[in-house]
Amino acid sequence: MEKYNAILVTGCGGDIGTGLARILRKEGLARTLVGSDIRPDNAGTFVFDICDILPRVNDPRYFEEAERLIKKYTIDVVIPMSEAEIRLWYRSGYTETFAGIPVVIPNSEVFDVAIDKVATAEFLKSLGLLYPWTMLVADGTPRELPCIVKSRGTGDKGGVEIVDEFSVAYFTAKRPGNIWQEYLDGEEYTAGVYGCLDGEIRTIVMKRKLSGGMTGYTMGGEVVDEPEITRVLTELAKALTLKGGINVQLRLTKRGPVVFEINPRFSSTVVFRHKLGFKDLVWSLEEKKRLPASPYLPPKTGTKIYKGYTEYVEGVPNEF
C-alpha cells in the first residue's frame, strides 16, 4: 500500500492513541504522524511526529479547529480516538468523510446500538442472543441484587461499581443518569471484530486478566478458541452490516456467552491484537484506499499476552 502523506489521530495522549502511533510507525503507513489532544503535555508527544491542540468536544470551534489541522499538516485520513470525540463525530454525521478526507470509524449502524448500553441490550434481545438485563437508575430499584451501576454511555459520567442492598440508595441518589445492569458471573473476554468491505468477518477472542478488578485495563490474557463466542460475534457483525472494527466485551456464564458492551472504536488491546496478526488498524487504512484488506492468519490458541509500562522522559531518547 502506498503511504498516506499524514495521518491524524485525535486523543493522542491516551493509551489507545499512543498504541496506534506505535503500529503506524512500525508498519510505515504514513510519512507524518500527527496527534491531537486537549492539552500539550501528554505521552503522545513522544510517539507522534507532531502533536497539536484540539479543543474539548463541547467547544463550538471543535470542527473548525480540526479542519485547520487537516489543512496545516496536509492530512489525508483522520482517526477519532477518544470516546467523547467519537460520539461527536457520529452525531455530526462524519462517519465516512470530513473536509474531503476519509474518517476511520465503523459504519453508523454500529453507533446506533453501541453508544447507548440500553440500546445495546435491546439490540441483543432482538437478535435472540443472550443479554444482561439493563434499566435506567431513574426508572426505579434494580431488578435484582447484587448488580452493576455504570455509565449509560451517552455522555453521562460514572465508573463501574457493584451494588448491593447497602449501597443501592446511595447510587440511586447520586447517579440517576446511569444504568443498573445484571451482574454477570463468569470469566471475562475481550474480542476484536472486523467487517471487511467484501463482507468477510474476522474475529479474535482473548480471555482477559484485568488490573484493578472490573474497571481496570487488560494487563494480560490468553488467546482462546470458543466456538459459541465466535458465533455470537459473527451474528452481531452481520446484523450490524459491520464495516470496520469494533471491540466487544462479554462474559462466559452458565447460560452461555453474554455480551455486555460494544465499543465502536479500536481497543486498548489494539497493539496486542496487531502483534497476534489481527491488524484491524492496517485493514481499515487499506480499505479506505479501496484496497482489499490484507490476509488474516488467526493466532495460535493458548498464546499468552502481558502488558507492562513504558516510561517517557522529556529530552531523553526512548531507547529501552
- Written in H, E and C, the secondary structure of 174-243 is HCCCCEEEECCCCEEEEEEEEECCCCCEEEEEEEEEECCHHHCCEEEEEECCCHHHHHHHHHHHHHCCCC
The strand pair at 179-182 and 134-136 is best described as antiparallel
Is 118 buried (19+), middle (13-18) or exposed (0-12) by CB count in 10 A? Answer: middle
Contacts of 38 (CB under 8 A, 6+ apart): 53, 54, 55, 56
pLDDT tier at 218, thresholds 50, 70, 90: low
Same domain, 287 and 206: yes
Same domain, 77 and 44: yes
Residue 277: per-residue pLDDT: 97
Same domain, 139 and 248: no
Same domain, 150 and 231: no
First CA to last CA distance, the chain:
30
pLDDT at residue 27 above 60? Answer: yes
- pTM of the full structure: 0.94
Over residues 292-296, the mean pLDDT reads 98
Residue 157: per-residue pLDDT: 81
Q: How far is CA 22 from the centre of its chain?
A: 17
Residue 283 within any structural domain of the chain: yes
Q: Are 222 and 207 in contact (CB under 8 A)?
A: yes
Contacts of 299 (CB under 8 A, 6+ apart): 204, 223, 276, 277, 278
pLDDT tier at 217, thresholds 50, 70, 90: low
Least confident of 123-137, 176-190, 193-207, 296-310: 296-310
Least confident of 19-23, 69-73, 313-317: 313-317
pLDDT tier at 308, thresholds 50, 70, 90: confident
Residue 214: per-residue pLDDT: 56
Over residues 88-92, the mean pLDDT reads 96
Residue 299: per-residue pLDDT: 95
Residue 311 within any structural domain of the chain: no
pLDDT tier at 275, thresholds 50, 70, 90: very high
User: For the chain, percent helix, then strand, then coil, each to nearest 5?
Assistant: 30, 25, 45
Same domain, 203 and 175: no
Number of domains in the chain: 3
Name the amino acid, one letter, at 140. G
* DSSP-assigned letter for residue 139: G
pLDDT at residue 318 above 80? Answer: no
Same domain, 137 and 215: no
Over residues 110-134, the mean pLDDT reads 96
Q: Are 86 and 264 in contact (CB under 8 A)?
A: yes
Q: Are 305 and 223 in contact (CB under 8 A)?
A: yes
pLDDT at residue 210 above 90? Answer: no
Q: Could you tell me the CATH number of the domain that includes residue 98?
A: 3.40.50.20
Same domain, 160 and 190: no
Cell of 312: 517517557
* DSSP-assigned letter for residue 43: G
Residue 319: per-residue pLDDT: 60
Same domain, 200 and 174: no
Task: State pLDDT tens for residues 124-164.
Answer: 999 999 999 999 999 999 999 999 999 998 777 888 999 99
pLDDT at residue 213 above 60? Answer: no
Residue 127 within any structural domain of the chain: no
Residue 320 within any structural domain of the chain: no
pLDDT at residue 315 above 90? Answer: no
Same domain, 142 and 95: no
Q: Which of 165, 181, 197 is the last residue of a domain?
A: 181
Contacts of 294 (CB under 8 A, 6+ apart): 279, 282, 283, 286
Contacts 24+ apart (CB under 8 A), 237-242: 237/193, 237/195, 237/201, 238/201, 239/123, 239/127, 240/106, 240/107, 240/109, 240/110, 240/113, 240/195, 241/107, 241/109, 241/195, 242/106, 242/107, 242/110, 242/193, 242/194, 242/195, 242/201
Over residues 303-314, the mean pLDDT reads 79
Residue 223 within any structural domain of the chain: yes
Task: State pLDDT tens for residues 237-270.
Answer: 999 999 999 999 999 999 999 999 999 999 999 9
Instruction: Tell me how far apart the alpha carbons of residues 272 and 152 are, in angstroms, rounded to a whole number.
Output: 28
pLDDT tier at 178, thresholds 50, 70, 90: very high
Q: Could you tell me the CATH number of the domain that includes residue 288?
A: 3.30.470.20
Residue 156: per-residue pLDDT: 77
Domain extent, residue 33, equals 4-105
Residue 122 within any structural domain of the chain: no
Per cent of the chain over pLDDT 90 is: 88
Over residues 9-24, the mean pLDDT reads 96
Residue 75 within any structural domain of the chain: yes
Residue 274 within any structural domain of the chain: yes
